[in-house]
Amino acid sequence: MKQLTLYRQIFTDESTIGILSISDGEKSWFLCYTLEDCMREVEGEEVKKWKIAGRTAIPSGYYRVLKTMSSRFGRCTLHIMDVPGYAGIRIHSGNVAANTEGCILPGMTYSKDEVHGSREALTKLESLLFPYLDEHEPVFIAIINGGR
């Protein structure tokens, strides 16, 4: 089993920057930075009470990740499953919050409200995870809201 951990660290009115790491059960290592929409989650409240469609990061939690065909991207992508109040949440390339629509954008570096080197980071992530997913090995992501 592969365990991804997204630790959200920087919160602005426009976006959320995080660090994505991976663990194989014995060791953990840094993969990339992430960019998401603004984090509006109110712990203990239903998603529909705080979500702004297309402009809100998904709730913190523990989710299964699958490799599925995306009609939007025309290829298989990493799909984060069973996110309350959301559908079609994927990890895909992009640079700014306007590119996310609730999804997670990987990047090699970051600056205020942006990630850079997104395609490179996505290639790194997919080349690491797709072989496990092709063999039906489980992959999960834990999304943790850091100090806010």
pLDDT tens digit at each of 148 positions of the chain: 889 999 999 999 999 999 999 998 889 999 999 999 999 999 899 999 999 999 999 999 999 999 999 999 999 999 999 999 999 999 999 999 999 999 999 999 999 999 999 999 999 999 999 999 999 999 999 999 986 5
The total domain count for the chain is 1
Tokens of 117: 């080197």
Pick the closest to residue 92 from 73, 109, 74 (CA basis): 73
Identify the domain containing residue 69 by its residue range: 2-145
Q: Supply the DSSP symbol for 55.
A: S
